[in-house]
């Protein structure tokens, strides 16, 4: 007898025999998938006559029995009843859940395709007697679902649905993510998707084409199984969880390493920042390259210690930004993301959200307006790309920075008179079904301050160049070192240089020059204990 509470949703195969590679059959693909770690099977055959469908269902059922894996039938309640399958999966346009339940009885599994928050409210209202699990999607674009009525929602969209399951108290309902999931994005999805309170993570992932269309379905399933069981997402070399407090000793070592390895820092940035950012990078002993030439991205990413600064105040086309991000993620080299004017226009909002959905960033840096918008805490739309005047409410800034760090599993930096830095990387681990330790509020955070430097706001690209500075220092770290501390070091260095330059300059023109000189000097001397910026743990 099927025990509904013991179903393993971790690797859920949905079939589609229209995409079988030559030499394979529906059964042969399902069988090798079962041999290699699939825990649940759904027969989803949209274009098959009833008689053939039933024949196929019986054959697949036999295989599933052999591996003690439940079989779910897509849409066809009659077929499920006829063969005594373990459950039915229906979409929003199929038979209503209440009727499916009446026909199937209380012990069968009912799955529902869910893409919107109001659908979660509906299932919550039905109570535990209704839906047992939901397929949340689509996460990414897919060629498998013909005429999809939904837009890809990315990990952030899936997290929002988990939030809704939490707030509507639908704790019985299990979840799998579906749509465009493949080995290059699955660990990132599992790592990033969690409810805001940290109590809910996905129970599994569901794929069609990754297994069904594979010429080696056994290997495909095994790869997915290993990624899920590994429970680790190593998105950049050098990632290490926050354990010790920031120290001058670490800062000194970080600067010294930057000198030694001279990271290549590829900038894809706006025109205003290009020249200044290149000079800042040189002052920090690193090598700037301002390339927007797609064919060379891969080669650049392979250079030891290469790092990418992605600044979306840029004029580069979206496809260029996306390509750069994919290449650096694949090479496991860090990306520093600066979503300039994140929500200033709907075009920017869409572009930045797409990038956030498709990549993993070592660091996301923004001014107060950008970070508040990223955290959905901004009242009203941003007016321009400048910081605005909300900077005085430090507790709001800390809250927003924590939310951004948690949502995107990144080191988030909110710049202002006081810079807030939060470590959301959580050591790069994830666990199906077990939640994600604590949620946003539990994350380690520091504030960096060096008093007022009003002249900072009077030159262009001062914020963007903090991005360059972070990229230089993050690029230098090697295995088992702290990403978070490298970012803190960069912010302290930059802020200290800003303070010194503001005291030496005669106005905003000479401030620019003095800033580069001061950075060069502090970097070369490498005595972090003398830096004027102060770090406090909060």
Order of all β-strands in the sheet with 418-423? 287-289, 264-268, 307-311, 335-338, 363-367, 411-415, 418-423, 445-449, 534-537
- Of ligand 3NM, Mg ion, none, which one does residue 423 interact with (CB within 5 to 8 Å by kind)? none
Q: Per-residue x/- mask for ligand 3NM, residues 200 to 239, rule CB under 6 A?
A: -------xxxx-----------------------------
As given in the structure block, the two tokens for residue 518 are 């001061």
Euclidean distance between CA atoms 459 and 253, whole angstroms: 31
Note the Cα 215 to chain centre separation in Å: 29
Piece of the chain touching Mg ion by CB under 5 A; list 74-82, 144-152, 208-216, 277-285? 74-82
Is residue 439 close enough to count as binding Mg ion by CB under 5 A? no
**Which of these ranges, 84-92, 143-151, 428-436, 523-531, lies near Mg ion under the rule CB under 5 A?**
84-92
Q: What binding mask, one character per residue, do residues 82-121 give for ligand 3NM by CB under 6 A, x or -?
A: -------------------------------x--------
Q: How far is the CB of 211 from Mg ion (least distance, A)?
A: 20
Cβ(455)–Cβ(497) below 8 Å = no
Instruction: State the minimum distance, in angstroms, from the CB of residue 144 to ligand 3NM.
Output: 3
The C-alpha atoms of residue 261 and residue 287 are separated, in whole angstroms, by 10
User: Are 114 and 136 contacting, i.e. CB atoms less than 8 angstroms apart?
Assistant: yes
Query: 161-190 mask for ligand 3NM (x: CB under 6 A)?
Result: -----------------xxxx---------
Residue 225 interacts with which of ligand 3NM, Mg ion, none, CB < 5 to 8 Å by class? none
- How many other CB atoms are there within 10 angstroms of residue 223's CB atom? 19
Give the residue, chosen from 16, 75, 203, 370, that forms a contact with Mg ion under the rule CB under 5 A.
Answer: 75
- 60's CB contacts (< 8 A; 6+ apart) are 15, 26, 27, 30, 41, 43, 71
Residue 294: count other Cβ atoms within 10 Å of its Cβ: 15
464 among known catalytic residues: yes
Do the beta carbons of residue 42 and residue 13 sit within 8 Å? yes
> What's the CA gap between 164 and 40, in Å, rounded?
25
Question: Catalytic pick from 173, 363, 426, 464?
Answer: 464
Measured CA to CA in angstroms, residue 394 lies from 160, 326, 376, 422, 538 at distances of: 26, 34, 16, 13, 11
Q: Which stretch binds ligand 3NM (CB under 6 A): 4-12, 26-34, 144-152, 426-434?
A: 144-152
3-state secondary structure of 156: helix
Binding mask 92-131 for Mg ion (x = CB under 5 A): --x-------------------------------------
What's the CA dihedral at 18, 22, 28, 29 to 10 degrees?
-60
Residue 137 interacting entry, from Mg ion, ligand 3NM, none, C-beta within 5 to 8 Å by type: ligand 3NM
Cβ at position 281, least distance to Mg ion in Å: 53
Positions marked active-site: 464
Residues in contact with ligand 3NM by the rule CB under 6 A: 14, 113, 135, 137-138, 142, 144-145, 150, 178-181, 207-210
Residues in contact with Mg ion by the rule CB under 5 A: 75, 91, 94
């Amino acid at each position: 007898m099927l025990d509904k509470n013991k179903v393993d949703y971790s690797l859920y195969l949905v079939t589609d025999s229209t995409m079988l590679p030559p030499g394979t059959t529906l059964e042969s693909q399902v069988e090798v998938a079962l041999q290699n770690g699939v825990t649940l099977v759904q027969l989803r055959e949209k274009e098959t006559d009833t008689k053939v469908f039933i024949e196929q269902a019986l054959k697949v059922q036999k295989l599933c029995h052999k591996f003690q894996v439940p079989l779910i039938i897509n849409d066809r309640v009659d077929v499920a009843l006829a063969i005594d399958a373990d459950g039915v999966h229906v979409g929003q346009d199929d038979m209503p859940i209440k009727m499916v339940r009446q026909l199937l009885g209380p012990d069968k599994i009912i799955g529902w395709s869910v893409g919107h928050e109001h659908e979660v409210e509906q299932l919550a209202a039905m109570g535990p007697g209704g839906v047992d699990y939901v397929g949340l999607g689509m996460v990414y674009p897919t060629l498998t679902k013909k005429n999809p009525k939904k837009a890809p929602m990315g990990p952030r969209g899936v997290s929002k649905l988990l939030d809704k399951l939490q707030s509507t108290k639908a704790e019985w309902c299990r979840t799998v993510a579906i749509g465009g999931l493949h080995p290059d994005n699955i660990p990132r999805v599992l790592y990033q998707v969690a409810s805001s309170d940290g109590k809910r993570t996905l129970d599994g992932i569901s794929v069609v084409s990754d297994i069904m269309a594979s010429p080696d379905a056994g290997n495909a399933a095994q790869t997915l199984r290993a990624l899920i069981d590994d429970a680790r997402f190593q998105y950049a070399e050098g990632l290490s969880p926050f354990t010790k407090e920031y120290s001058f000793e670490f800062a000194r070592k970080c600067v010294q390493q930057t000198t030694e390895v001279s990271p290549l820092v590829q900038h894809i940035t706006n025109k205003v920042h290009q020249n200044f950012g290149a000079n800042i990078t040189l002052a920090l002993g690193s090598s700037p390259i301002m390339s927007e030439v797609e064919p060379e991205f891969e080669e650049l990413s392979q250079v030891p210690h290469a790092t990418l600064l992605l600044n979306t105040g840029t004029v580069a086309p979206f496809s260029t930004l996306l390509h750069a991000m994919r290449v650096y993620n694949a090479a496991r080299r860090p990306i520093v993301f600066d979503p300039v004017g994140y929500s200033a226009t709907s075009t920017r909002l869409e572009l930045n959200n797409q990038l956030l959905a498709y990549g993993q960033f070592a660091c996301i840096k923004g001014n107060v307006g950008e970070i508040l918008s990223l955290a959905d805490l901004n009242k009203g739309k941003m007016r321009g790309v400048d910081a605005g005047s909300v900077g005085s409410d430090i507790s709001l800034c800390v809250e927003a920075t924590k939310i951004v760090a948690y949502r995107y599993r990144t080191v988030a930096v909110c710049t202002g008179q006081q810079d807030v830095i939060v470590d959301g990387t959580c050591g790069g681990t994830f666990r199906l079904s077990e939640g994600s330790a604590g949620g946003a509020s539990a994350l380690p955070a520091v504030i960096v301050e060096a008093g007022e430097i009003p002249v900072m706001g009077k030159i262009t690209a001062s914020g963007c160049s903090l991005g360059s500075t972070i990229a230089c220092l993050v690029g230098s770290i090697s295995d088992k070192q702290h990403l978070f501390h490298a970012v803190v070091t960069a912010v302290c260095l930059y802020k200290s240089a800003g303070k010194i330059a503001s005291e030496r300059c005669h106005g905003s023109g000479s401030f620019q020059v003095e800033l580069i000189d001061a950075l060069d000097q502090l970097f070369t001397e490498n005595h972090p204990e003398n830096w004027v910026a102060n770090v406090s743990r909060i």
